[in-house]
């Protein structure tokens, strides 16, 4: 075990599903104390199942928290520290993509509603701001910590199959991570971002995806398949752990080779 996150205190936002859930599960398997937070109260069941399947020393707690609510985020971070004494690793992962892409009806720049724009920005950018602010508050005081943010390859380039606010929010996330790395480095706090390509999760809704859209995505991935949440969790744990002790301010793609094209 080269990651050595056993016994560390971990927070994961958006932990009830998809990538966040896979990260939480991997941390429990490594023996960490893991706090799962999500806007959906299904997070309690998700955490219960992780606790049941855990065979090692890892422990699990769950919190309902909407990252758009800055007071709720402050309380979340205070609750984690009250329960576990500190916060070593913060995975800031909550995000949505609930609006039409620019190829879909209603997705063009002159058609997209301001409400749709704001809805995505509220979670992906403002929600990250609140979670980053309060994670940094705790970690600066400790003079240690590692923050891993879930950005997206859509934050690094234009992407026809994604919406305007998604691309804009994830591009802003990239800037926020880089800027925070400047400040946090002297407090021994690192911050890095994951930039996943297309991963099979609930982010596009739980229904079947149109075959043509699935095929178009696959064409854009040299490894010829969508990612699975577990494909992303490995990189997330590496960036969180001491195995990446001289890495900060980086944006790291995990995309089946799509960025090589």
Figure out which of the listed residues 6, 44, 54, 68 binds ligand NAD, where binding follows CB under 6 A.
68
Please report how close the Cβ of residue 210 comes to ligand NAD at its closest, in angstroms: 15
Tokens of 18: 């998809």
Query: Is 95 among the residues that bind ligand NAD (CB under 6 A)?
Result: yes
Q: Name 192's Cβ contacts closer than 8 Å, sequence gap at least 6.
A: 146, 147, 148, 149, 177, 181, 239, 244, 247, 248, 249, 250, 251, 252
| CB neighbours of residue 71 within 10 Å | 8
Cite the active site residues. 166
Q: Which of residues 109-138 bind ligand NAD (CB under 6 A)?
A: 123, 127
* Closer Cβ to ligand NAD, 58 or 127, answer by number: 127
Strand 145-150 relative to strand 89-92: parallel, antiparallel, unpaired? parallel
* Size of interface with ligand NAD, in residues (CB under 6 A): 27
Beta partners for residue 227, in sequence order: 199
* Closer Cβ to ligand NAD, 188 or 202, answer by number: 202
Figure out which of the listed residues 5, 10, 20, 31 binds ligand NAD, where binding follows CB under 6 A.
20
* Closer Cβ to ligand NAD, 40 or 59, answer by number: 40
Please report how close the Cβ of residue 33 comes to ligand NAD at its closest, in angstroms: 20
Q: Which of residues 44-63 bind ligand NAD (CB under 6 A)?
A: none
SS3 category, 113? coil
With the CA atoms of 48, 19, 10 and 156 taken in that order, what torsion angle do they form, in degrees rounded to the nearest 10? Answer: -160
Q: Which of residues 170-209 bind ligand NAD (CB under 6 A)?
A: 196, 198-199, 201-203
Figure out which of the listed residues 10, 29, 67, 132 binds ligand NAD, where binding follows CB under 6 A.
67
User: In whole angstroms, how large is the CA radius of gyration of the chain?
Assistant: 18
Please report how close the Cβ of residue 40 comes to ligand NAD at its closest, in angstroms: 4
Binding mask 227-256 for ligand NAD (x = CB under 6 A): ------------------------------
* Closer Cβ to ligand NAD, 13 or 90, answer by number: 13
Cα separation of 55 and 34, whole Å? 14
Cα separation of 136 and 153, whole Å? 25
| CB neighbours of residue 110 within 10 Å | 4
Please report how close the Cβ of residue 232 comes to ligand NAD at its closest, in angstroms: 8
Figure out which of the listed residues 14, 145, 165, 256 binds ligand NAD, where binding follows CB under 6 A.
14
Q: Name 186's Cβ contacts closer than 8 Å, sequence gap at least 6.
A: none
Tokens of 145: 């910590």
Query: What are the residues binding ligand NAD (CB under 6 A)?
Result: 13-14, 16-20, 38-40, 66-68, 93-96, 123, 127, 150, 152, 196, 198-199, 201-203
């Amino acid at each position: 075990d080269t990651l050595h996150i056993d016994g560390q205190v971990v927070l994961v936002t958006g932990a009830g599903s998809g990538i966040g859930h896979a990260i939480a599960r991997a941390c429990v398997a490594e023996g960490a104390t893991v706090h799962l937070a999500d806007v959906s109260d299904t997070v309690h069941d998700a955490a219960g199942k992780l606790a049941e399947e855990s065979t090692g020393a890892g422990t699990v707690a769950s919190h309902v928290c909407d990252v758009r609510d800055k007071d709720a985020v402050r309380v979340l971070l205070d609750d984690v520290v009250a329960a576990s004494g500190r916060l070593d690793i913060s995975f800031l992962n909550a995000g949505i993509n609930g609006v039409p892409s620019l190829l879909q009806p209603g997705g063009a720049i002159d058609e997209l509603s301001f409400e749709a724009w704001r809805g995505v920005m509220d979670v992906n950018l403002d929600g990250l701001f609140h979670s980053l602010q309060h994670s940094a508050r705790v970690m600066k005081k400790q003079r240690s910590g590692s923050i891993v943010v879930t950005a997206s390859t859509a934050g690094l380039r234009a992407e026809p199959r994604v919406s305007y606010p998604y691309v804009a929010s994830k591009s802003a996330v990239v800037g926020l991570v880089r800027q925070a790395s400047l400040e946090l480095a002297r407090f021994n706090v690192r911050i890095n971002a994951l930039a996943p390509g297309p991963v099979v999760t609930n982010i596009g809704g739980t229904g079947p995806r149109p075959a043509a859209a699935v095929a178009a995505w696959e064409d854009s991935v040299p490894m010829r398949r969508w990612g699975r949440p577990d494909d992303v969790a490995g990189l997330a744990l590496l960036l969180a752990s001491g195995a990446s002790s001289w890495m900060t301010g980086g944006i790291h793609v995990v995309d089946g080779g799509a960025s090589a094209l």
